[in-house]
Homo-oligomer: A and B are copies of this chain.
Amino acid sequence: MAEEKKMVEQITDMEVDFAQWYTDVCVRAGLIAYSSVKGCMIIKPLGYAIWENIQAELDRRFKATGVENVYMPMFIPESLLQREKDHVEGFAPEVAWVTRGGLEDLQEKLCVRPTSETLFCDFYKDEIQSHRDLPKVYNQWCSVVRWEKTTRPFLRSREFLWQEGHTAHATEEEAEERTILMLNTYASFLEEFLAIPVIKGQKTDKEKFAGAKATYTVEALMHDGKALQSGTSHNFGDGFARAFGIQYSDKDNKLQYVHQTSWGVTTRMIGAMIMVHGDNRGLVIPPAAAPTQVIIVPIQQRKEGVLAKAQELAAALSGFRVKVDDSDKSPGWKFNECEMRGVPLRVEIGPRDIEAGTCVLVRRDTGEKKTVELSALVQTVGEELAAMQREMLERARKHLAAHTYEATDYETFKKTIEEKPGFVKAMWCGDQACEDRIKADVAATSRCMPFEQEHIADTCVCCGKPAKKLVYWGRAY
């Protein structure tokens, strides 16, 4: 009992201090550990197993659209990083520089990749000669480095894991098509696999990627009402192609510049999963992404036949990712631990259950307990996992809807941002001055100009000039 109390006390109540709750969950659930490298975290087995599931499913969806994986060097020579003006301005201030190799100073310093547009461009300029070499639809899974000042597990760290897709196309239309295709791939993955609903839209010029013509984003809403940019897809037009001289000869043997895109998601999605689904008992992992979907906890496991029965159930459930916790900890401890670690379903089986030919099934998200006939267990587990996946998305959708507000005048807008954590939909004139003023007044940013535009007023919520676009505003991670 003492043990159980201890374990529960170890996470802060999310209503009291959401930031502390988040850190507690990351550490106590065993997702990460802090390393002695400032700003870099260690991803522990549970955290990494979730990432492996995310990777496998995303990679499958990518390949279904014709993506091929490659691997580029982790270093970028300074001169290469500087080739595209806007790009270097965006990234140079936050890169790590290698200045010594072996026992010598380097003639040209190398930065550790913060992103690899420049490397892919340098590669494509030699790989692409003719229209027959197009399109190139390449992706890489790797780690990147951005020298952030303040860091938080999964959300912002100096090194993080991600995938970065980089494509080259013959036409502007084809590039735009790929940009949107990948944004939609991210959106459906987030909803179907991680049970996280998102708003799809375009970033304003102020918020777009350094060097992009257009940046599209999927924006999710965390439990605390803060927004999290969860994936972006960029259309570069022929900007990088002109900077790097990437040309192909078309069917009429005319030289043309290629049109490029890039798109990426990171381990940040794990942070989103924690902050959308977690509760005061810890992590709640959607069944699709859960390394262990069902944990079987034997009660009075030293009693004859109990462990054997638990193993027998595990064998019957082998179609799912199932584990038996036969450690010498107390059942209470095991319950707390698998709740803390977000295991979707718990099966309790003890002598009395065995006698009755039943077991107890507990759902992590609702805490709902039910007694199940052993003969019906396999089917019930399948149904409960499917229901949990579906209902987690429904709950997140309700939360998103309940925390999305509208404002048509600036006072209401500011009051809503200050008092009602969530998204605020408001009209915008298209002028960056208004974005700057809103940021200065209430520390909110334009999250995106949603694809689903509405006309809720004629004038900009900030300056009163004629409105051009509906924008989702919010405070963000």
Q: A37-B75, A73-B37, A159-B74 are in contact. Are A99 and B97 (CB under 8 A)?
A: yes
* CA distance in complex: A447, B92 (Å): 46
A319 within 8 A of B: no
A41 to chain B, nearest CB (A): 8
A43 to chain B, nearest CB (A): 4
CB neighbours (8 Å) of A40 from chain B are 73-75
- Are B93 and A147 neighbours in the complex by a CB distance under 8 Å? no
List the B residue with the shortest CB-CB distance to A108.
Answer: B38
CB neighbours (8 Å) of A69 from chain B are 45, 48-49, 52
List the B residue with the shortest CB-CB distance to A52.
Answer: B69
- Are A143 and B145 neighbours in the complex by a CB distance under 8 Å? no
* CA distance in complex: A43, B98 (Å): 22
A350 to chain B, nearest CB (A): 23
A126 within 8 A of B: yes
A112 within 8 A of B: yes
- Are B45 and A122 neighbours in the complex by a CB distance under 8 Å? no
* CA distance in complex: A99, B73 (Å): 19
Q: A45-B138, A69-B48, A69-B52 are in contact. Are A159 and B75 (CB under 8 A)?
A: yes
Q: A37-B110, A99-B100, A110-B37 are in contact. Are A44 and B70 (CB under 8 A)?
A: yes
Size of the chain A interface, CB-CB below 8 angstroms: 53
Q: A77-B36, A112-B112 are in contact. Are A70 and B43 (CB under 8 A)?
A: yes
CB neighbours (8 Å) of A49 from chain B are 68-69
- Are A42 and B68 neighbours in the complex by a CB distance under 8 Å? no
- Are B98 and A97 neighbours in the complex by a CB distance under 8 Å? yes
Q: A37-B77, A48-B71, A74-B143 are in contact. Are A100 and B96 (CB under 8 A)?
A: yes
* CA distance in complex: A127, B35 (Å): 11
A22 to chain B, nearest CB (A): 20
Mark A79-118 against chain B: 1 for CB-CB distance below 8 A, else 0. Answer: 0100000000000011111111111000001101000000
Pick from B76, B77, B126: contact of A33, CB below 8 A.
Answer: B126
* CA distance in complex: A52, B102 (Å): 30
- Are A119 and B74 neighbours in the complex by a CB distance under 8 Å? no
Q: A33-B123, A80-B36 are in contact. Are A45 and B73 (CB under 8 A)?
A: no
* CA distance in complex: A73, B159 (Å): 7
Counting chain B CB atoms within 10 Å of each CB, the highest count among A42, A45, A72 belongs to A42
A134 within 8 A of B: no
Pick from B71, B100, B158: contact of A42, CB below 8 A.
Answer: B71
A161 within 8 A of B: yes
CB neighbours (8 Å) of A45 from chain B are 68-70, 138
List the B residue with the shortest CB-CB distance to A46.
Answer: B68
CB neighbours (8 Å) of A44 from chain B are 70
- Are A123 and B73 neighbours in the complex by a CB distance under 8 Å? no
* CA distance in complex: A71, B47 (Å): 9
- Are B94 and A102 neighbours in the complex by a CB distance under 8 Å? yes
- Are B71 and A123 neighbours in the complex by a CB distance under 8 Å? no
CB neighbours (8 Å) of A149 from chain B are 102
CB neighbours (8 Å) of A110 from chain B are 37, 96
CB neighbours (8 Å) of A52 from chain B are 69
* CA distance in complex: A159, B71 (Å): 11
A142 within 8 A of B: yes
A188 to chain B, nearest CB (A): 23
- Are A73 and B42 neighbours in the complex by a CB distance under 8 Å? yes
List the B residue with the shortest CB-CB distance to A101.
Answer: B147
Q: A42-B70, A119-B35, A123-B33 are in contact. Are A98 and B112 (CB under 8 A)?
A: yes
CB neighbours (8 Å) of A99 from chain B are 97-100
* CA distance in complex: A110, B110 (Å): 14
CB neighbours (8 Å) of A33 from chain B are 123, 126-127
CB neighbours (8 Å) of A158 from chain B are 101
CB neighbours (8 Å) of A42 from chain B are 70-73, 123
**A1-56, CB < 8 A from B:** 33, 35-37, 40-45, 48-49, 51-52
List the B residue with the shortest CB-CB distance to A127.
Answer: B33
